[in-house]
Amino acid sequence: MPRDGRYDGLAAFLDARGDALLRTAVLLAPGREAGEDLLQEALERLLRKWHKVDGNPESYLRRIMYNRAVDGFRRQARRPEVLGLPATAAVADHASQLDLRLVLMTSLELLTPRQRAAVVARYWEQLSEAETAAALGCSVSAVKAAAARGLQALRAAIGPDMDFTRNYG
């Protein structure tokens, strides 16, 4: 980065929030490599408008990621990969944790880009319906519908054998 002062605060922002942003990108893409690509593209777009960003750049960056994911970022077939879920999760052993991560990643791939973005924003990022609607650039009712359909598809894909709320809720 040039040292002319145009990007003051960006390095500190990325040091503080980079890991959380990458986890979100991996869920949106999904997959580690595709998530890294999504975050990199969003950062490139953020850099172009850095001088115009007022206040918190994180919400602007997240909105870019959500929109790129909904627009069908990297629609080619993706392979399931291990997801970095919170270390505080109470899972019996590493094999169970891996199974849970693979089921989640595989299930998220079944959702449409809009459903995936709504589910990740609402339940992973814990944004309100209004915040999610603002981030996705749609109405609150569209967020409700996409999240409801996404959760219904996730429940159908996961089945009764795997209870995420027991392990992570």
Q: What is the pLDDT of residues 129-138, one digit of tens each?
A: 999 999 888 9
Question: Of all residues in the chain, what percent carry a pLDDT higher than 70?
Answer: 73
In the structure, what pLDDT confidence band is assigned to residue 34 with cuts at 50, 70 and 90? confident
In the structure, what pLDDT confidence band is assigned to residue 77 with cuts at 50, 70 and 90? very low
Residue 132's nearest CA partner among 33, 41, 65 is 65
In the structure, what pLDDT confidence band is assigned to residue 101 with cuts at 50, 70 and 90? confident
Average pLDDT over residues 61-75: 77
In the block, residue with structure tokens 């924003």: 121
d(CA 48, CA 45): 5
Q: How many CB atoms are located within 10 Å of the residue 33 CB? A: 13
Its pTM surpasses 0.85: no
CA angle 44, 17, 49 (to 5 degrees): 30
Is pLDDT of 30 > 50?
Answer: yes
Q: Which of 3.30.9.10, 3.50.50.60, 1.20.140.160, 3.40.50.11540 is the CATH number of 10-168?
A: 1.20.140.160
Residue 137 gets the label, from left (phi > 0), alpha (psi -120 to 50) or beta, of: left
- For the chain, what are the domain ranges? 10-168
- One-letter amino acid at 131 equals E
